[in-house]
Structure 1
């Protein structure tokens, strides 16, 4: 039995068997075609451009994916060499950028723009397959929303035909790991929309084998499961449609420990009741419904009728075609077991008419991540709802001093739980520690584009963008990692309001003014984990052969992961150096910070960035505290040299502790503040640079003693 009329069949390649428009080859003389959706390559005038090996292809792909924005040296280095860049990487980067510019020929500019590179392409004569795909996919999605499935199916089919294989073929692994999942997600979303269009056109029977094959390849994708259920129902196979739901539920439970989404459960209820929303729009109009009385469910695989008691053609015995008699409904279950028809739609909040993109934007987790087991476990439990939570409670801040490993911990936790957030995972760098933090309006614009809002439809005003973001993420299961947040003002507008979403924020500030937030404060690594991390980075043979020197290096790094990473990379890049030579240099207080530099990693630079964000009084307090040596400083000791009262000094030092420049040490009857050894070395250097002299500990202590004597006189 067919509950809707069939139109042309669908081929396994992902499109109805109609004449496909071959993507333009761009064979006009001089046309430059750049390809990312398959092997990364270039053709000019139909002739292949010899790009060379993976590294120049990686540079080209990274610059094209940035869409005219600067790609930093840090990012390019990580994409080319991962965590083990060579000492000559800046020179090699310049070589690869120059090679790309030379190979692509006239009109293409690869510019050096601090802190990295960007690519500029002429407005005419260049075609990029990714942009062609995205433009066609956007037109198809808009046509589908507008109720024009014929146009939608054609545009979406042509968009999918642009793909030539697995995206980003031939690039270095870090770039593939960072971007390939996102691009594949865009392809799958477009494929699901194309299937939606074919369902609207009544091609349900031909879609069934295609959907079965797609689900076998991606069994956790609920959108495809729902589309299969809809296609089976429309083909008169209600029992098979319900069996498909049971199979989906069993797979999700076994693999993720999750129940199906609310959308899939609503679709099952519609199947049980034979709800008219299961028919294509044309059939619903014939059966008495109107397009204006329906709303689409996520993925297009169920459409809920807002009207009252309209019954399906299968229930009334009337075909979807103008009043013709349909064959009787097969008795799929005994009549006594049939559920009572439900006159109203299954409950659930409204969703947008088109499925948003499901971004997969997480950066790779560090392969050599060491320690922090309890912190990661606690974060994972919080992110996956280990206890009931109300809206607004799924926000977690990972905080600590510069170089403590906040981003690494956040990414480690995010990757562990990402399958619990099937609507997408987003990583957004807020640039809070730099001189130009990302504006909230710009951040919202980027977030809206990542979930599928076309750029021309992103509102201009901050408040409008925030409302659009909250609406777009309503009833979603989305994981958002906001990296390097400067302050609360730049974070608040970015927070979803639904309890289905979770937000991980990294910040040097604890963001204590955010409401309903839990925090993880990272301390330096304990000695055992610090030794393990350094050994992994420097090489076990180096550390095992000189254990005393290795211990000295680890002690000098004082448990700071960034310092350990720099030291390990420096040793790995100098296999001819005895480890003791580097240990001697690193343990010289006058050289320590100068030795903690490798490639684009510099502890001094990281501390200088953060120091610049402190106010003048806080900077002065930090400088003078460094002059008091490694011992904890109580507020009374600091008050005299700072020219403040004890309470004012305590307030200032407490601000430094809240920003993780100092650690609070509790004492009987009071408290004191202690600097991390590497922070103290940095602040002592700033004291010499900004005060013009370095007071020794004794004069400062003498000043404190005089102040106390004056106060008691």
Structure 2
């Protein structure tokens, strides 16, 4: 069976279309598909189906829609009632026999993502021909306007994100075609695309490159001027550094813009400089001046520190802006590293982090060594890697480090290379490294970031609402950016429209989403990487009225001895989902969960734990006979358990 949402929302059994009914049923079906096996709550379904004014019979109607959906799709997938809503479970294909019985289920947007990932991998490996072909196949899964036939709330919520993903893959396919010398064939397509999307700077840069390579320098410069005018008229900003640098290269006829045909042995030469520059820092980078200055000073003199390596680390919770700070630091150090800068995403927060050997291959490739002929064994590859770095002065930016083991062998011993790490963990086991920890923005920095996105005039018109939005975002940079982007995308909205939507802590996380930025995805990756005891602790601690808690509170909630509870709390601190707060006068350490992570985990508590577990935990906490952790009377008993 085939399910599709990249066009009309439909289901097909072979060549026969399955009847799904009207828009409401299609909307429920699409919502379950997009949830990727997670529970879609009744409140979410109600909002998607009827908006802000549901009928009195909404519960009965949802039950009816789910029953009809079960009848329509048959045994291919299961619509399961799981409080507080429903989920769609699709079986994996375990044998040819199941495939023959028609139990294989394909979903068009999952197929699109699979092909897109393969295409990117081919591009990263330097195989532009394979990348162009695979990415073209990925784009072919789109057969029309996405989410056709669904109700407006779901379409309004999901279409921007899906369309942004499609455009990103389209840009990558065009990049592969440019690498293959197809610039003449691309001009008409790129003119149409830049007309439809005048603010997408990458498309405009690709059109400028194609025109320049077809000896149309004047037309390439005119395309830049049109883009600059469009950005000024729409957003009041100038083009970003990448497009400005391309414009300068066109002006001076930079030979680097000319197309160079790929050779069969491309990537094996040792040219010593990276051929892929690191990403540029955000144009609206805000705050963090103390941390940026500290890291720039640390990394400014590679190879000149007696007995020490030039290694900096930035740590903090998901969404706090670690990568942005790293790129800002690197941007200010370009003159210190004449052999270039290398940016590698180690994917530490995802399910498939790079191994140390894979990361070495990526770094060597970006430094011009290429991947062809690399030793297979970790030890021999490590020797080659360290030898290659010994005579160079390059800055390695290793983003999203999983843990110390992933990067320990990636740190150069001696020489002129610097390293800048970002991670959600402390990295405290790496010798000689003192990580810079990022917390939430100050109110002033959060205000500045929101104003840079929304505009000073709208902020001045409703200053109290602006401050309320910032506090709803807990001054987390990613959350502030998403909130600002939602307002920028809807200039007709007054600020209090978004304030109202963010008011409910349980719904707030779902509102902080636009295009391919979803706060829930970022927080989920942080939660999912915790150990089961730490996840349980986070769920139960999120239930108490105050975000602040002591080790004694955690011990009572978790039904653990103090030492064991302290170990679990330390895991939460290491993952930056909890922080040590100033002494409250009791002499006991007090911690606090980050507000947005607390809201997110409260939403996960029902799905990941049982009601009985939550009830028993709160009963232990509220038991009248429990020993207080406050005052000297506890000093002699604080290592005894139980407290009764």
> TM above 0.5, one fold?
yes
| Matched residue, 2:534 | 618
TM-aligned CA deviation for residue 497 of structure 1:
2.0
Is residue 475–residue 498 contact of structure 1 (8 Å, CA) maintained in 2? no
Q: Distance in 2 between matches of 1:416 and 1:120?
A: 28
Q: 1:582 to 1:700 in 2, by over 3 A?
A: farther
Give runs of aligned pairs for residues 224-623 of structure 1, distance below 5 A: 355-359=271-275, 361-385=277-301, 389-390=305-306, 392-623=308-539
SS of match in other structure, 1:518: coil
Q: 1:504 to 1:712 in 2, by over 3 A?
A: closer
SS of match in other structure, 2:314: strand
Is residue 390–residue 499 contact of structure 1 (8 Å, CA) maintained in 2? no
TM-aligned CA deviation for residue 179 of structure 1:
10
Is residue 316–residue 576 contact of structure 2 (8 Å, CA) maintained in 1? yes
Q: Distance in 2 between matches of 1:572 and 1:603?
A: 17
TM-aligned CA deviation for residue 539 of structure 1:
1.7
TM-aligned CA deviation for residue 569 of structure 1:
0.3
Is residue 640–residue 707 contact of structure 1 (8 Å, CA) maintained in 2? no
Could you list the per-position Cα deviations for residues 37-87 of structure 1 after superposition, in whole angstroms to 9, with x for gaps in the alignment? xxxxxxxxxxxxxxxxxxxxxxxx99995445698x9xxxxxxxxxxxx98
In structure 2, which of residues 136, 158, 180 is the aligned counterpart of residue 128 of structure 1?
180
| Matched residue, 1:689 | 607
1:669 aligned onto 2:582: no
Q: 1:64 to 1:433 in 2, by over 3 A?
A: closer
Is residue 629–residue 697 contact of structure 1 (8 Å, CA) maintained in 2? no
1:678 aligned onto 2:567: no
SS of match in other structure, 1:517: coil
Q: 1:540 to 1:695 in 2, by over 3 A?
A: farther
Q: 1:690 to 1:555 in 2, by over 3 A?
A: same
Could you list the per-position Cα deviations for residues 473-530 of structure 1 after superposition, in whole angstroms to 9, with x for gaps in the alignment? 1132111100001011111222222341110000001111111112100011111111
| Unaligned stretches of 5+ residues in structure 2 | 1-118, 139-156, 184-212, 228-238, 259-267, 629-636
Is residue 394–residue 517 contact of structure 1 (8 Å, CA) maintained in 2? no
- The number of residues matched between the two structures is 429
Q: 1:97 to 1:562 in 2, by over 3 A?
A: closer
Could you list the per-position Cα deviations for residues 552-609 of structure 1 after superposition, in whole angstroms to 9, with x for gaps in the alignment? 1011111100000000000111111121111011122221111111111111110111
Q: 1:704 to 1:577 in 2, by over 3 A?
A: farther
SS of match in other structure, 1:362: coil
TM-aligned CA deviation for residue 178 of structure 1:
11
Could you list the per-position Cα deviations for residues 303-329 of structure 1 after superposition, in whole angstroms to 9, with x for gaps in the alignment? xxxxxxxxxxxxxxxxxxxxxxxxxxx
Q: 1:94 to 1:567 in 2, by over 3 A?
A: closer
| Unaligned stretches of 5+ residues in structure 1 | 1-60, 74-85, 101-109, 111-116, 132-161, 192-351
In structure 2, which of residues 610, 615, 619 is the aligned counterpart of residue 699 of structure 1?
619
Q: Distance in 2 between matches of 1:608 and 1:94?
A: 20
Q: 1:705 to 1:649 in 2, by over 3 A?
A: farther
Q: Distance in 2 between matches of 1:560 and 1:513?
A: 27
Q: Distance in 1 between matches of 2:337 and 2:175?
A: 36
Q: 1:178 to 1:422 in 2, by over 3 A?
A: farther
Per mean C-alpha deviation after superposition, the further-off stretch among 664-673 and 638-647 is 664-673
Q: 1:617 to 1:585 in 2, by over 3 A?
A: same
Q: Distance in 1 between matches of 2:216 and 2:361?
A: 30
Q: Distance in 2 between matches of 1:543 and 1:643?
A: 48
In structure 2, which of residues 535, 546, 555 is the aligned counterpart of residue 639 of structure 1?
555
Q: 1:427 to 1:96 in 2, by over 3 A?
A: closer
TM-aligned CA deviation for residue 542 of structure 1:
1.4
Q: Distance in 2 between matches of 1:121 and 1:388?
A: 41
Per mean C-alpha deviation after superposition, the further-off stretch among 89-98 and 496-505 is 89-98
Q: Distance in 2 between matches of 1:637 and 1:524?
A: 25
SS of match in other structure, 2:549: coil
Could you list the per-position Cα deviations for residues 451-475 of structure 1 after superposition, in whole angstroms to 9, with x for gaps in the alignment? 2224323222222222111111113
TM-aligned CA deviation for residue 391 of structure 1:
5.2
Q: 1:628 to 1:700 in 2, by over 3 A?
A: farther
Could you list the per-position Cα deviations for residues 328-357 of structure 1 after superposition, in whole angstroms to 9, with x for gaps in the alignment? xxxxxxxxxxxxxxxxxxxxxxxx996513
Q: Distance in 2 between matches of 1:672 and 1:467?
A: 46
Is residue 664–residue 673 contact of structure 1 (8 Å, CA) maintained in 2? yes
Q: 1:445 to 1:120 in 2, by over 3 A?
A: same
Structure of larger gyration radius: 1
Q: 1:560 to 1:640 in 2, by over 3 A?
A: same
SS of match in other structure, 1:493: helix
Could you list the per-position Cα deviations for residues 415-462 of structure 1 after superposition, in whole angstroms to 9, with x for gaps in the alignment? 011111001101111111111111222111111111222432322222
SS of match in other structure, 1:633: strand
Q: Distance in 2 between matches of 1:660 and 1:477?
A: 33
Q: Distance in 1 between matches of 2:182 and 2:431?
A: 41
SS of match in other structure, 1:706: coil
Give runs of aligned pairs for residues 56-71 of structure 1, distance below 5 A: 66=124, 67=128, 68=130
SS of match in other structure, 1:674: strand
Is residue 428–residue 434 contact of structure 2 (8 Å, CA) maintained in 1? no
Q: Distance in 2 between matches of 1:375 and 1:94?
A: 33
SS of match in other structure, 2:323: helix
Is residue 626–residue 683 contact of structure 1 (8 Å, CA) maintained in 2? yes
SS of match in other structure, 1:498: coil
In structure 2, which of residues 555, 560, 571 is the aligned counterpart of residue 655 of structure 1?
571
SS of match in other structure, 2:506: coil
